[in-house]
Amino acid sequence: MAYLQLQGIEKFFGEHRAIKGIDLSIEQGEFVVFVGPSGCGKSTLLRLIAGLERIDGGKLLLDGRDITHLPSSQRDLAMVFQSYALYPHMSVYENMSFALKLAGVDPKVIREKVERAAKILNLTTYLDRTPKALSGGQRQRVAIGRAIVRAPKVFLFDEPLSNLDAALRGQTRVEIAKLHRDLGATTIYVTHDQVEAMTLADRIVVLRDGVIEQVGTPLELYDKPANQFVAQFIGSPQMNVIEGKHVPTVPGVPAGGFLGLRPEDVTLQPAAQATGGLPGTVELVESLGAETLIYVTTDSGAQLVSRQATRSSLRNGDRVGIVVEAANAHRFDAQGRAAR
Ligand code: ATP
């Protein structure tokens, strides 16, 4: 039996069914990321697991024990919030040791645990400071440290990096990945940032409107999305999805269906050198340094983005031949389901 098991989990807010019969098994040591658009229910699902919201239907089992209606404090889970939720008047040391002190742990043991966590998180020199004398990234590390010292059965993270600037978000993401590698703790992490999802997750759970659309490893979702929604949610820039009729050269698209092309599978040739491909026009060129995104419109009216790993001499208005990598193309039926 899986370490953490969700069986038919339901949540209503008044009449609104926010979580609709979620089944999910999480193995010990796994790093699972919940992603999905705003309002899909990912934070609610995490809060149900944490015991911060009441579960209205179904069962939640942790390590063989039914914890569906157990109070949060008895679930042996630790949650790290976007807002850090540190005690402002307490030092870093006091913040990190608070839960252990409350649990009556021997002060000597507390000191060892806090010092070990502080070392892992590079917080040793900040233990005497209060949170207001720390940067956002340092505060977030304290919040993580406070979870680590409790050695919970499961770590729960609710968008922990969204208050950090881009550079710090990247660094802290790498720290969380290393931490998981070193501690091997079972982790559930909520984010709407699909780079975080792709880089941190052993498995990603894609949610929409309170149901699971697909569960899989990052590359499974990238290479074999179950439907158009997942295909366009995972990957940046998002997958091009166009009506099959625009690309008559690619076989196997169901009648009335769609063709999905990752931006890296769309190549552009200047019209003069084009040897086939769909005729089209460059609408916009975005140079990102290491790569270039080129937005084009086919003469038949379909819009596509091409990603190339080199700089480009193409300019707005240039005529091009659009060559698609048919072997890597995705096919969807008229309802958006993957056609295999
Ligand atoms: P976001 O990325 O914007 O945080 P989310 O996927 O985490 O979104 P939830 O916060 O879980 O979404 O919300 C799921 C649905 O439940 C939404 O429709 C939301 O409006 C509703 N909801 C969440 N909390 C409450 C509440 N306390 N009372 C009423 N409705 C709620």
Strand order in the sheet with 292-298: 266-270, 319-324, 278-287, 292-298, 303-308
The whole-number pLDDT of residue 182 equals 85
Provide mean pLDDT across the span 243-248: 90
Q: Kindly state if the Cβ of 42 falls inside 6 Å of ligand 1.
A: yes
Is there a contact between 143 and 79 (Cβ–Cβ < 8 Å)? no
Residue 31: CB atoms within 10 Å? 22
> 224 and 183 in one domain?
yes
- Structural domain total, the chain: 2
Is 337 part of any domain? Answer: no
Q: Provide the percentage of residues in the chain whose pLDDT is more than 90.
A: 76
- Give the span between the Cα atoms of 274 and 294, in whole angstroms: 16
Burial class of residue 71 (count of CB atoms within 10 Å of its CB; 0-12, 13-18, 19+): exposed
pLDDT tens-digit readout, 1-39 = 899 999 999 999 999 999 999 999 999 999 999 999 999
Mean predicted lDDT score pLDDT of the chain: 93
The whole-number pLDDT of residue 5 equals 98
> 251 and 214 in one domain?
no
Provide mean pLDDT across the span 233-247: 93
Nearest CA to ligand 1 atom 2: 38
Is 278 part of any domain? Answer: yes
The whole-number pLDDT of residue 8 equals 98
Provide mean pLDDT across the span 181-188: 91
Ligand 1 test: best mutation among 11, 13, 161, most atoms within 8 Å of CB? Answer: 13
Residue-range definition of the domain harbouring residue 263: 242-332
> 252 and 309 in one domain?
yes
pLDDT tens-digit readout, 113-132 = 999 989 888 899 999 999 99
Q: Kindly state if the Cβ of 36 falls inside 6 Å of ligand 1.
A: yes
Ligand 1 test: best mutation among 43, 190, 196, most atoms within 8 Å of CB? Answer: 43
- For residue 43, which atom of ligand 1 is closest to its CA? 7
Measured in Å, residue 189 CA sits from the centre of ligand 1 at 16
Q: Kindly state if the Cβ of 17 falls inside 6 Å of ligand 1.
A: no
Nearest CA to ligand 1 atom 28: 13
Q: What is the CATH number of the domain that holds 309?
A: 2.40.50.140
pLDDT tens-digit readout, 138-155 = 898 899 999 889 889 999
Q: Kindly state if the Cβ of 13 falls inside 6 Å of ligand 1.
A: yes
> 67 and 216 in one domain?
yes
Q: Kindly state if the Cβ of 259 falls inside 6 Å of ligand 1.
A: no
Q: Kindly state if the Cβ of 41 falls inside 6 Å of ligand 1.
A: yes
- For residue 45, which atom of ligand 1 is closest to its CA? 11
> 26 and 74 in one domain?
yes
Which residue stretches of the chain are H helix? Answer: 42-50, 92-102, 107-120, 136-149, 166-183, 194-200, 218-223, 228-233
> 289 and 153 in one domain?
no
- Give the span between the Cα atoms of 195 and 210, in whole angstroms: 22
Lowest mean pLDDT among 133-137, 160-164, 327-331: 160-164
Q: Write out the two tokens for 38.
A: 């705003």
Boundary (domain end) residue, out of 183, 214, 232? 232
Boundary (domain end) residue, out of 232, 255, 280? 232
> 264 and 159 in one domain?
no
Nearest CA to ligand 1 atom 11: 41
* Residue whose C-alpha is closest to residue 278's, from 287, 289, 266: 266
The whole-number pLDDT of residue 151 equals 87
Is 120 part of any domain? Answer: yes
Is 237 part of any domain? Answer: no
Q: Kindly state if the Cβ of 273 falls inside 6 Å of ligand 1.
A: no
Interface confidence, given as ipTM, is: 0.96
Question: pLDDT band for position 83 (50/70/90)?
Answer: confident
- Give the span between the Cα atoms of 94 and 87, in whole angstroms: 9
> 180 and 321 in one domain?
no
Q: Kindly state if the Cβ of 38 falls inside 6 Å of ligand 1.
A: yes
